[in-house]
A and B are shown apart, each in its own frame.
Chain A
Amino acid sequence: MVFPQTSVPSHYITASVYDGVISDVMKACRDAFIEEGYDEASLLDVKRLWTRKLAETKAVTRQPGRQSQQQVVRQPQQIVRQPQQVYIQRQVSQDGRPIQRRQFTSNGQPVQYVQYRSNQSPNVQQSPQPQRIYVQRPQQVQTQYIVQQRPQHSQQQRQPQQQRIIVQNNRAQNLSPGPSHRASPNSNHVHQLDGTSDDKLELESEVTPAPSIEVPETKSAPANPPPIPTTLPESIRSLLDEDSEIIIQIDGVGDDVSSGSLSSSSSDDPDSDTEHVDEPALNSDDNCPSPGVDETFDCENILVCKYDKITRNKNQWKMQIKEGIMNIKGYDHVFWKALGDTPW
């Protein structure tokens, strides 16, 4: 028997489906219990325990006004019928004062006029729409989630800006060793330097050689070949003669393209690599611990179903699933067919 339940919400359908399943299982197992030598009391115990545990989970929402398990799911537009009650209707005059109709009998005694209003009671509000118990907890969670994101987002926005300030400052120091600058008393304060020159800053400081590789100030080509750096290993040094021309490649800011050969006094500056020490080592972030499989698939909300077709187009996944039961926020919902569209 097929029930056309297209207009009833799924959480109301769930209760009727579950009731049907329970009764079908009890009917099917009755013979098995008798064959095994158990009486119907054991079967009723199974049913009693099952329904009690199901009620305790509170995963099933039942329609208001419905208590029997075998009834067909009705349309929600029907008014819930209550026992007829009798009360006196009072009419209000134009002045706002209540007017009560009165009639008098032949004896002169007043007869109170009573008006019946059937199918209604003061406690029931006639509403064409069904009551929906819909918990909006996710919105609260979502708002909290959104609110928490804002300060993080603003912090994230601030961090790159700060980083930019620091980088610019470093670059300015490396590029302009000429003018004299003196470190300010507040050495921890980061001055923002935008552009190539900042006239507002008037700092006087001694010339301090940049930590990077020194650029030779002589503009003419060196007459004598550069000496062999002592930092080179002996195996390589032995291959080199003092008369041979050494071309040492310097990458980075201190690279003087105009001169044909470059020289570096790495022996004079043992701190030439301090600039690279601050940078993270290559491939250091390749072994970032990824979330475990259990954590990824651990979820409170679960949907169990069968699939008809699962397709993918580039990163767009489309799912055609059917005959499913989903537990969303503690409530069970059943569906016949579902269509999903999710990008990956």
Chain B
Amino acid sequence: MNYQLYRNTTLGTTLIDSLDELIQQQAISHSLRQKVLEEFDKAINYALANKVRNRITFKGKLNTYRFCDNVWTFVIENAEFREVIDCIQVPKVKVVACDGKGNTVHNRQAVDDY
């Protein structure tokens, strides 16, 4: 269950930019670029599931919600994220959540929606 959801994070976008730059320089091929991105999907999904164990709570005012293709999208205003010690407040945050038990076909579309 390797989602492409995380390609739009900072880590994913920097990887894509780097690969595109090397393709422009003709240092790597397109197939190799795809292979690297697939390996990235595997690595990030594995790391988040197995290498992280912290929990957070958050609250705020739900402004908008959307459920399409098994993907929830929320827009929360005046959100407050709390960890054990830290607390972060933001005026607006968007949450994109894919099914934690679903297949990868639906969740690939989350990349386009996001």
Contact = CB atoms under 8 A, between A and B. Distances in A.
Interface of A: 1-10, 13, 16-18, 20-21, 24-25, 28-29, 32-33, 36, 38, 42, 45-46, 49-50, 53-54, 57, 59-60, 132, 134, 138-139, 141-142, 145, 296-297, 299-308, 310, 317, 319, 321-329, 332-344
B48 A325 contact: yes
Contact of B44 (A5, A21, A145, A336): A21
Provide the main secondary structure of the chain A interface.
Answer: mixed
Interface string B53-65: 1111111111111
Given A296-B63, A296-B75, A328-B93, A50 B18 contact: yes
Given A3-B52, A25-B36, A310-B72, 8 more contacts: A2-B51, A2-B53, A296-B75, A300-B92, A305-B96, A339-B56, A343-B61, A344-B62
Interface in B79-114: 79, 81, 83-86, 88-100, 114
Interface in B5-32: 5-6, 8-11, 14-15, 17-19, 21-22, 27-29, 31-32
A288 B50 CA distance: 49
Given A33-B32, A138-B88, A329-B88, A57 B56 contact: no
A226 B55 CA distance: 82
Contact of A5 (B9, B54, B57, B89): B54
10 contacts: A18-B11, A145-B91, A304-B114, A305-B96, A328-B81, A336-B54, A336-B55, A337-B55, A341-B59, A344-B65
Provide the main secondary structure of the chain B interface.
Answer: mixed
Interface of B: 3, 5-6, 8-11, 14-15, 17-19, 21-22, 27-29, 31-32, 35-36, 39-40, 42-65, 72-76, 79, 81, 83-86, 88-100, 114
Q: Which of A10, A305, A306 has the most B CB atoms < 10 Å from its CB?
A: A306
A236 B22 CA distance: 84
Contacts of A300: 92
Given A54-B11, A142-B89, A10 B28 contact: no
B59 A342 contact: yes
Contacts of A9: 83-86
A59 B10 contact: yes
Which 7 A-B residue pairs are closest in the complex by CB-CB distance? Answer: A49-B18, A306-B100, A307-B97, A323-B48, A53-B14, A342-B62, A299-B94
B19 A46 contact: yes
Nearest to A11: B86
Contacts of A341: 57-59
Nearest to A331: B88
A239 B100 CA distance: 74
B103 to A, nearest CB: 12
A302 B93 contact: yes
A268 B36 CA distance: 87
A21 B47 contact: yes
Nearest to A21: B43
A140 B98 CA distance: 34
Contacts of A305: 95-98
B92 A29 contact: no
Contacts of B52: 3, 5, 13, 17, 323, 334-336
A138 B43 CA distance: 33
A28 B97 contact: no
Contacts of A145: 91
B75 to A, nearest CB: 6
B53 A3 contact: yes
A327 B10 contact: yes
A59 B14 CA distance: 11
Contacts of B31: 36
Given A17-B51, A46-B36, A342-B60, A304 B9 contact: yes
